C-alpha cells in the first residue's frame, strides 16, 4: 500500500483540517509529518467547532489511529491543553494516538527566543505565531535538540537544563525581558501527559502498516508558499511543508507516496508578513475577510485576503506532484458579482507567469475576471447541481493546472462537501 498526502498549496489555512476529517473514513491511519502548534486546523460537525494544533485531524472518527510523526515539533503545554479539552468532551486518545520518539520538543526557552528574535527584527519581522517553531527547528538542524524519546531517559532533566542554559546565554544578547518560571511548571506537567501515550519508532511502525496494506493519509500543516525551501523566503515557516516533507517527516520512501491531495481556497489568504501579490486593500478584501471569517485559528490575527494567484498555484502543484486538487470556500465567492484570478504578473514591461526569486520586486497581477454564480451553493450535494459559472471556474483551474478538482468544499461543516 502507498501513503497518500494532503497538504496546503497556498499560505496555510486552506481547510486541511476539515477535509482530512472528511477523508478519514477512507483511512486506517492519519499522520502529521511537520510543523507544530503554529498550525490551527478547524473541524466542524454536529454544530461544534474543534481546533487542533498538534494532534492529527483524524481523531474524531472511530477505529482510526493517529500518529504525530518525527518531523513534528511538539510543545507539551499546548499538547496537554488539547488533550484536556478533548477529554472534557469525552474523546480519549491514549490508545489511538501515537507519538514518534524522534519528534522534537519545543522548550519554554524556544518560545522566548522566538519572541525575542521577532521583537529585534522590527519592521522586518516574519509575523511568527510565536510558538517557538523557528528556534526549535534551528536546534534540530544544529544538533542540539531534545526529542520525545528523551523524556524516558534518566538524564532528561540534565539535558533540559543544558539546552535551557544555552538559550539563556543567547537571550543575554537580546534586550528582552522574560519570565520562564510559570511556563516551565506547565511544561513539565505536559511532559508527564506525553508519557501517558505510546512513544514509538514511528517510521518502522508506519512502514510495517504499509506492508500490511493498511491505508495512511499524511496531513500537512501550513502551506507550500510557507515552505522553508520553496516559500516566500524569509517569510516562511521553518519546515518542509511539501510532499517531500512527508517522506522525511514520517520515514517513508518517495516511491511509497500515492495520491497527493493539494488543497487551495477559491481565493487567497495570508497571515503574517511577506509578499502577497493579489492582496486586496479595498472593500472586496474586507468582504472576503468578513464573509470568510478570515481570522487565524491559532493566533486570532486577521488574515490578509486577495484573489486566487494562479502562477503561485501552478508552482505549488509542480513542487508537490499534486494528483488531485481540492477547492475550499467556493461558497464565499457567491457573495460577489464578479471576482478575479491572477493569471500572470507584470514586472516593468515584462510579463511573467512564474514566481521570481527576488521577493522585493513589485509584481503587478494580470487578472482574468469571472462572473459569480450569486446563488447559495452550501447545500448542494453534487457537481450536477453546481451553477454553470462555478463549473466554468472549476474547469478553468483544471485546464490551467492540468489536475482534476475532485473535491469542492462549500461550507465549514463536514457535510458541506461535494465529491466530483
Ligand atoms: P487549516 O489550517 O488548513 O486546517 O484551515 P483553518 O482551519 O485554519 O482555516 C479554514 C477555515 O475555513 C476554518 O474556519 C474552517 O472551518 C473554514 N472552512 C473550511 N472549508 C470551508 C468552506 O468550504 N467554506 C467555508 N465557508 N468555510 C470553510
Ligand atoms: P495551518 O497548518 C497560516 C505563518 C505565520 C508566519 C509564518 C511563520 O493552520 O495552515 P511560524 O510560527 O511558523 O514561525 O510562523 O508562517 N504560519 C501560518 N499561517 N497557517 C498556518 O498553519 C501557519 N503556521 C505558520 O503566520 O507568517
Ligand atoms: Mg489553520
pLDDT tens by residue, the chain, 420 residues: 999 999 999 999 999 999 999 999 999 999 999 999 999 999 999 999 999 999 999 999 999 999 999 999 999 999 999 999 999 999 999 999 999 999 999 999 999 999 999 999 999 999 999 999 999 999 999 999 999 999 999 999 999 999 999 999 999 999 899 999 989 999 999 999 999 999 999 999 999 999 999 999 999 999 999 999 999 999 999 999 999 999 999 999 999 999 999 999 999 999 999 999 999 999 999 999 999 999 998 889 999 999 999 999 999 999 999 999 999 999 999 999 999 999 999 999 999 999 999 999 999 999 999 999 999 999 999 999 999 999 999 999 999 999 999 999 999 999 999 999
Ligand nearest to the CA of 231: 2
Does the beta carbon of 224 lie inside 6 Å of ligand 1? no
CA dihedral 246, 252, 256, 261 (to 10 degrees): -20
Q: Which one is catalytic: 4, 13, 75, 227?
A: 13
CA of residue 13 to ligand 1 center, whole Å: 7
Helix axis angle, 388-401 to 310-320, nearest 10°: 50
What are phi and psi for residue 255, nearest 5 degrees? Answer: -75, 0
pLDDT attached to residue 298: 85
CA of residue 14 to ligand 1 center, whole Å: 6
- In angstroms, the CA 1 to CA 105 distance is 31
pLDDT attached to residue 78: 98
How would DSSP label each residue in 256-323?
GEEEEEEEEESSEEE-SSS--TTB--SHHHHHHHHHTT-B-TTT-PBPEEE-EEHHHHHHHHHHHT-S
With residue 6 as reference, give the H or E element that holds it. strand 3-8
If we measure between CA atoms, which residue out of 101, 121, 128, 116 comes closest to residue 169?
116
Q: Whose CA is closest to atom 6 on ligand 1?
A: 13
To test ligand 2's pocket by mutation, which of 10, 12, 113, 134 has the most ligand atoms within 8 angstroms of CB? 12
pLDDT attached to residue 299: 87
pLDDT attached to residue 175: 86
Q: Which atom of ligand 2 is nearest to the CA of 274?
A: 27
Q: Which atom of ligand 1 is nearest to the CA of 223?
A: 3
If we measure between CA atoms, which residue out of 405, 414, 390, 31 comes closest to residue 206?
31
pLDDT attached to residue 297: 85
pLDDT attached to residue 387: 98
Grid coordinates given for 142: 544544529
Grid coordinates given for 206: 508506519
pLDDT attached to residue 346: 96
Helix (H, G, I), strand (E, B) or coil at 37: coil
Active site residue 41: yes
Q: Which one is catalytic: 41, 53, 104, 110?
A: 41
- In angstroms, the CA 71 to CA 249 distance is 4
Q: Residues with Cβ < 8 Å from 330, sequence gap 6 or more?
A: 266, 377, 390, 393, 408, 409, 410
- In angstroms, the CA 263 to CA 330 distance is 12
Amino acid at each position: 500500500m502507498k501513503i497518500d498526502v494532503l497538504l496546503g498549496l497556498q499560505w496555510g489555512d486552506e481547510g486541511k483540517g476539515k477535509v482530512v476529517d472528511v477523508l478519514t473514513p477512507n483511512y486506517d491511519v492519519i499522520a502529521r509529518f511537520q510543523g507544530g502548534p503554529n498550525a490551527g486546523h478547524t473541524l466542524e460537525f454536529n454544530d461544534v467547532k474543534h481546533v487542533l494544533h498538534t494532534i492529527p485531524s483524524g481523531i474524531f472518527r472511530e477505529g482510526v489511529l493517529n500518529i504525530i510523526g518525527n518531523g513534528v515539533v511538539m510543545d507539551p503545554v499546548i499538547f496537554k491543553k488539547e488533550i484536556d479539552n478533548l477529554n472534557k468532551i469525552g474523546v480519549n486518545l491514549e490508545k489511538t494516538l501515537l507519538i514518534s520518539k524522534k519528534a522534537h520538543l519545543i522548550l519554554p526557552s524556544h518560545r522566548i527566543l522566538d519572541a525575542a528574535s521577532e521583537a529585534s527584527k522590527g519592521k522586518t519581522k516574519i509575523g511568527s505565531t510565536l510558538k517557538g517553531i523557528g528556534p526549535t527547528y534551528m536546534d534540530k538542524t544544529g544538533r542540539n535538540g531534545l526529542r520525545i524519546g528523551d523524556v524516558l531517559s534518566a538524564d532528561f532533566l540534565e539535558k533540559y537544563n543544558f539546552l535551557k542554559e544555552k538559550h539563556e546565554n543567547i537571550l543575554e544578547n537580546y534586550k528582552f525581558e522574560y519570565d520562564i518560571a510559570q511556563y516551565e511548571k506547565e511544561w513539565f506537567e505536559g511532559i508527564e501527559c506525553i508519557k501517558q501515550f505510546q512513544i514509538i519508532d514511528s517510521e518502522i511502525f508506519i512502514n510495517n502498516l504499509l506492508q500490511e496494506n493498511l491505508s495512511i493519509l499524511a496531513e500537512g500543516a501550513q502551506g507550500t508558499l510557507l515552505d522553508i525551501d520553496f516559500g516566500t523566503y524569509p517569510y516562511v515557516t521553518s519546515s518542509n511543508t511539501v510532499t517531500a516533507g512527508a517522506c522525511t517527516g514520517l520515514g517513508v520512501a518517495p516511491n511509497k507516496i500515492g495520491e497527493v491531495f493539494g488543497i487551495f481556497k477559491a481565493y487567497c489568504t495570508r497571515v503574517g508578513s511577506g509578499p502577497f501579490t493579489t492582496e486586496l486593500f479595498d472593500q472586496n478584501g474586507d468582504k472576503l475577510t468578513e464573509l470568510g471569517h478570515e481570522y487565524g485559528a491559532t493566533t486570532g490575527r486577521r488574515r490578509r485576503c486577495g484573489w486566487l494567484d494562479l502562477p503561485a498555484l501552478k508552482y505549488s502543484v509542480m513542487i508537490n506532484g499534486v494528483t488531485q486538487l481540492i477547492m475550499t470556500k467556493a461558497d464565499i465567492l457567491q457573495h460577489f458579482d464578479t471576482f478575479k484570478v491572477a493569471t500572470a504578473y507584470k514586472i516593468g514591461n515584462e510579463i511573467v507567469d512564474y514566481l521570481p526569486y527576488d521577493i522585493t520586486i513589485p509584481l503587478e497581477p494580470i487578472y482574468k475576471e469571472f462572473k459569480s454564480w450569486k446563488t447559495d451553493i452550501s447545500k448542494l450535494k453534487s457537481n450536477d447541481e453546481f451553477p454553470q459559472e462555478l463549473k466554468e471556474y472549476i474547469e478553468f483551474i483544471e485546464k490551467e493546472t492540468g489536475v482534476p478538482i475532485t473535491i469542492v468544499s462549500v461550507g465549514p461543516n463536514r457535510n458541506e462537501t461535494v465529491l466530483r
